[in-house]
Chain A
């Protein structure tokens, strides 16, 4: 952990002073300290190595039930043929003239599926699914795409280990060296 003085203003003032002369830098400092409990309530993002994933778990068959009720009207039966984004299939099409970008063919990180479904889906009622329902829908979509087995359980341990088929086909223009497998 960091102490209050280890980072932040003290170090910053020194570095700025070098080029800004002797002016003392004052800032308003009007932010209220956030408690860990407050942060826990706000922080919904999931890192690609799985940090941030909550407790809970789900299987493809559990996810199929949620999907039928909450997702199918927009995304079609088994992720194909709905009015909105197709979620399944498309593998092998990316270099063709009609690429089909789906979770299975395109998305590089399995954690993104959980993160996105939890933050933004269903479209008309985001944040209405329980964490286990989100794990289950994620498992169902990964299973439909043939990336995990029909009996595989998705949770904070297993989901980040799922390697997406298109992971290695992204060329990072802004440098970032992944520190995780």
Chain B
């Protein structure tokens, strides 16, 4: 009797899963414990193990296809069983079969596998959008050149076989951007532009056709992560009564301290960011203001016993974009260098292979920092069940008044978004006051 693999429930809230990648193909032998596929849940990409020995007889759900939890996704032939004789029919467990807690529901018709790249025997390479649902095909040097010139690969149509993006495609894009004085996506479209009058131009009003990039209408398939972001933030913005309170902090002392520490600790591999100081300051301030470490629970407020600060991490556009919140647990008990190392490790892991559910859960407060992009001021949407999120801009050198004198100093705007069910305006002002004193006298963050 063959074994049916079903879409597993890999997190409490998971209802659907997408097969990102099969690590086995039909005919492969598998042993119990082997990771057969990577599955994207609503939260993360996780590895799917198989719990029996056998031979993969049939793969029912192709890469890139989303199916509900419990759907049959592959059939495994058991020892001694002919993989060729295993059929879809066998995958449907008889209703009378002994019920098992995790028994698969009746197998649903397998969805069509994701379309694979068309095999085009034609002499002229088939030009297909390489940014479609599947894997993007890019020659290694084209990928490198795109990075060097800041070309978004998703916006380039590959002219190589199977839509492969090749060196020529990138160089043409760069050339167009340079000559047209514009950058960005779109397929070049010939447009008529009147020729500027100049001594060199012939005396005629004939328009010349010039290649300039134009925009293109396309549909973008959304990932499970993008769907989660959409669902949770709509829920937050619709149900949480948001309001914002903003304060500017003098950053001169903190930047000086950071420079000194980084110079002294460079040999130990320590490189503190401004954000690391803010994480620590927010965590310490929360210990003083417990309502900032709390959640609205319908008819009561849950005040949490641990201070877990979430740090929003943006993922690269090239890999589908999106953002995740990495959790620094017990941030009030951790030193700057611990916070720094942990944040950097989690951010790298988030960008390279994704975070585990545990690494993204249980935050009690979130910080979103766009300072590194030069943003001076913005507001953020609360990350439920948090009651507050701090949006930090860049530390900017500007004219300031210090001791009744006009001076040049560094300032950073911090914008708190708050849940009015939990935190009132005056409470927010006091919390920002505590934060201000810590950031402006940053020695306190070292203790």
Real binding pair: no
Chain B residues with CB under 8 Å of chain A are none
